C-alpha cells in the first residue's frame, strides 16, 4: 500500500515537472490601411460652376451660413457637395466635403455614385 502511494506521488511530482508543449505563436494581422476613395479628390476643391459643368444643374441648392450645399441626384444615388470659402467668407467657394447615399438614405460608395451621375443611362 505504501508502495502504491509512493508510486502515485512520484508520478504526480514528475508530471508537474514535465515541460509544457509550446503554444503556437499567434501573430496579429497587420492593421488595415484605410485609403479614402481617390475619386473624392477629383471633386474636392471644385467651384460651384465647375460642379455644374461636370454634373449639370443641381437638384437642390441650399445656403447654410457662409457655406453652400449643392445636391445632385440620379435614380441610383444622391451626392451632396458642401462648398465653403476662405475663413473670411469672401472669395471663391470650393468643395470641402462630399457625401453620397442611395435614395433610401443608406451610405454608398462615392466612386459608384459619381459614375452614376456622370452616366445617367
Residue 82, SS3 per DSSP: strand
Element (H, E) at 115: helix 110-118
Residue 28 has a pLDDT of 64
For the chain, list the domains and their CATH numbers.
38-121 (3.30.1450)
Predicted confidence (pLDDT) at residue 99 exceeds the cutoff of 60: yes
Length of the chain as a residue count: 121
User: Higher pLDDT residue, 88 or 97?
Assistant: 97
Phi-psi region of 101 (alpha: psi -120 to 50; beta: other; left: phi over 0): beta
Find the mean pLDDT for residues 86-113. 87
60-64 sheet: strands from edge to edge: 60-64, 67-73, 78-84, 94-101
Query: pLDDT tens digits, residue range 47-68?
Result: 999 999 999 999 999 998 889 9
Q: List alpha helices for 36-109, DSSP H.
A: 38-43, 48-55
d(CA 80, CA 101): 9
Query: pLDDT tens digits, residue range 5-50?
Result: 778 777 767 666 666 666 666 666 666 544 444 445 689 999 999 9
Q: How many CB atoms lie within 10 A of CB 75?
A: 7
Contacts of 108 (CB under 8 A, 6+ apart): 77, 100, 101, 102
pTM of the predicted model as reported, rounded to 2 decimal places: 0.64
Find the mean pLDDT for residues 85-111. 87
Amino acid at each position: 500500500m505504501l508502495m502504491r502511494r509512493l508510486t502515485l506521488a512520484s508520478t504526480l511530482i514528475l508530471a508537474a515537472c514535465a515541460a509544457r508543449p509550446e503554444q503556437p505563436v499567434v501573430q496579429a494581422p497587420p492593421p488595415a490601411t484605410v485609403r479614402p476613395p481617390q475619386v473624392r479628390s477629383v471633386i474636392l476643391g471644385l467651384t460651384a460652376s465647375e460642379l455644374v459643368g461636370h454634373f449639370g444643374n443641381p437638384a437642390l441648392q441650399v445656403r447654410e451660413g457662409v457655406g453652400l450645399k449643392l445636391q445632385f441626384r440620379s435614380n441610383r444615388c444622391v451626392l451632396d457637395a458642401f462648398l465653403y470659402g476662405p475663413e473670411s467668407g469672401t472669395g471663391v467657394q470650393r468643395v470641402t466635403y462630399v457625401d453620397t447615399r442611395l435614395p433610401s438614405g443608406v451610405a454608398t460608395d462615392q466612386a459608384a455614385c459619381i459614375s452614376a451621375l456622370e452616366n445617367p443611362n
